[in-house]
Structure 1
Amino acid sequence: MTSAETVNGILTIPTIDITPFVADDSDGEARAAIARAVDEAARTVGFLQITGHGIPDAVRDAFTAATDAFFALGPQAKRAYICPPPINRGYSPPKSESLATSLGITTAADLFEAFNVGTTAADYPELDLPAQEYAANVHPAEVPLFEAAVGAWFAEAGRVARTMTRVFALALGLPEDYFGRYTDHSIDVLRMNNYRLPSADAPLEPDQAGMGAHTDYGIVTVLWADQVPGLEILGSDGRWHPVQPADGALLVNLGDALARWTNDQWISTMHRVAPPRVGGELVPRRSAAYFHDGNTEAVIECLDVCTGPSRPPRYEPVTVGAHLAAKLAGSRARVPNPHAGREAARLTATPLAMPPPR
């Protein structure tokens, strides 16, 4: 399948088997077919799901068990791992963030809680990397296996993300290793999300979401998620379409950096997580997003293969670090981002997608 369609009210996004890239298969036609399928998905929906990713079930199971153990801790224990907003690490309590503010749009605080780990300066001792972007990780002492289990998933999801950048390069007609120069010390973050709500009948504010409407900030996101309703993609019809992953598949979506590199030839997917409901009742939901964002000093500017006399660049060049800082100041510090006009316009231009005025 190479295009999205709706079946029984659920958006069925393209499913692509990336085994030839994971197995380093030399079959050029098989790899070219995958690149063509990814290009079509990137142009039409910006979301796909991948099979053949090679992550063992045991790694996933240990990872989800460790994250479940952390989120089961009491509020006081979890709050000990809160980091200041500029440090994208540690614990974020419920209603402490608003993802829509990364677009410059003010809404009610989001319901999710999260825990972040990421690439650190210590991972690259030969480089003089900024401590804020490459901050040290914190790990909950109450969950002894957390660091090892989360670290194993971080490594596997990172491998998948880097594999996808090779596919992207081929899909754009570039050398397969093209993005390597921009990602050899990439700011990568793994965000573990829990949509635990106070009760099944908890009252919600009119515009409150599990996670507010946003585009992801970097190059590519590799997402594991429960098969529980909640994730929704904004379609070209201005409506939100539910998405659920297939058994064993990972969801992959493109971020702002790739949309900017491709001059909007590829889509940075607008998505949100509605308060998860089954049979009309609020239910728990979990996910884990690995964000592959690029080197802090890397300059994002429209690729020559995506520009021309009839398609001038739509974006000014910006470094990965500056772009991420503006986005994170919005979502984490609740400072509306003034630099996300093109992304925000996709939401504000479709009244059906906007929350009611506050």
Structure 2
Amino acid sequence: MTSQIPSFDIRRFTHPASPGDRQAFVDELGAAYREWGFAGIRNHGIPQAQIDEAYATFKAFFALPEEVKKRYHVAGGGGARGYTPFGVETAKGSKHFDLKEFWHIGREIARDSKYAADMAENQWPAEIPEFKRVGYGLYQSLDALGSQVLSALALHIGLAENYFADKTDSGNSILRPIHYPPITTDDIPNVRAGAHEDINLITLLVGASAEGLEVLSRKGEWVPFTADADTIVVNIGDMLQRLTNHVYPSTTHRVVNPPGEKARQPRYSTPFFLHPNPDFLIDVLPSCITPDNPSRYPEAITAEGYLQERLREIKLK
């Protein structure tokens, strides 16, 4: 692999020029994830106008007065839905909280669903009438794209292409619009988002508005990854790392404060955290156990159990 995180045209998978090209895409994508745990996805089919409208809508919410935003903070909800104010979430093992505020949009499910106890109702800010249409529209688009990426990764490790379909169709996935406010002093010890790994199966990051994302390479070097405007960054989370026995690594990453005047600019970011269904059992796949890579996790755990364990570690619970 090169020292640069690669990007791929997903049309080679969804609309391949030849059967051989589809297989080549699976091979190349899988190799990139084994090396980096990160890749860029181009030609994903989500219109730029949809992304732009979503960012404009999220910025309008974050520009509301603090007392208005805090009406949508769900006390005791662990940040699962609605608004989480500045200075709460802390990267695992970090002394300092992250420099960000954010909102969580979850899956819309019937309230008599068997998952209703694990998946709270969404909050929708009355002050921004288009928020639900725009926010949930982007949620659905990224959910569908994530399913395509998982299909390719399933093939790469010897599973059926549709292996993940019925395991994520009611997933407790989250769309998280984030606002990193401008940094106005030079003595803040925090970074915008401390070094961490994601909890879920995969994360899709659309339209990061500024540089700052860095990925820790296998050599121990921080590699900047500012994707092109038409590229969605997709990375492996801890649940998929555990399921695949570290065949796909959940790579440490962070959002650093840019130098000089760029730090005086706000940063907006919208990751989509794709989760399995709450009762999915994360148990190491037999195809990912070899003499050279024996099972690292003899005990299985449900997706919901794992999520709650991790939320406590990052101070959201």
**2:209–2:269 CA contact under 8 A, matched in 1:** no
Deviations 1:187-220 (A, max 9, x none): 11001111113x5335302xx1111111111111
| From 125, 129, 136, the counterpart of 2:115 | 129
Match of 1:110 in 2: 98
CA distance in 2, matches of 1:306, 1:281: 43
| From 61, 84, 105, the counterpart of 1:92 | 84
Change in CA separation of 1:314 and 1:30 when aligned onto 2, cut-off 3 Å: same
Number of equivalenced pairs: 315
Match of 1:239 in 2: 221
| From 242, 251, 258, the counterpart of 2:240 | 258
| From 161, 165, 180, the counterpart of 1:176 | 161
CA distance in 1, matches of 2:301, 2:163: 18
TM-score, scaled relative to structure 2: 0.93
Letter in 1 for 2:80: N
**1:233–1:240 CA contact under 8 A, matched in 2:** yes
Give yes or no for the alignment of 1:42 onto 2:33: yes
CA distance in 2, matches of 1:203, 1:263: 41
**Range moving further from structure 2, 278-287 or 60-69:** 278-287
Give yes or no for the alignment of 1:152 onto 2:137: yes
CA distance in 1, matches of 2:102, 2:313: 16
CA distance in 2, matches of 1:276, 1:74: 26
CA distance in 2, matches of 1:159, 1:4: 29
Q: Secondary structure at the match of 1:80?
A: helix
| From 4, 7, 28, the counterpart of 1:15 | 7
Deviations 1:84-136 (A, max 9, x none): 343511111111111x22xxx1421111110110114428x5x31142x3110
Give yes or no for the alignment of 1:140 onto 2:125: yes
Match of 1:323 in 2: 306
The structural deviation recorded for 1:329 is 1.7
The structural deviation recorded for 1:301 is 1.3
Change in CA separation of 1:292 and 1:4 when aligned onto 2, cut-off 3 Å: farther
List alignment gaps of at least 5 residues for structure 2: none
Deviations 1:333-353 (A, max 9, x none): 36xxxxxxxxxxxxxxxxxxx
RMSD: 1.9
CA distance in 2, matches of 1:178, 1:327: 25
**2:257–2:263 CA contact under 8 A, matched in 1:** no
| From 229, 237, 248, the counterpart of 2:211 | 229
The structural deviation recorded for 1:75 is 1.0
Q: Secondary structure at the match of 1:69?
A: helix
Letter in 1 for 2:195: A
Give yes or no for the alignment of 1:165 onto 2:150: yes
**1:227–1:244 CA contact under 8 A, matched in 2:** no
Q: Secondary structure at the match of 1:308?
A: coil
CA distance in 2, matches of 1:64, 1:106: 29
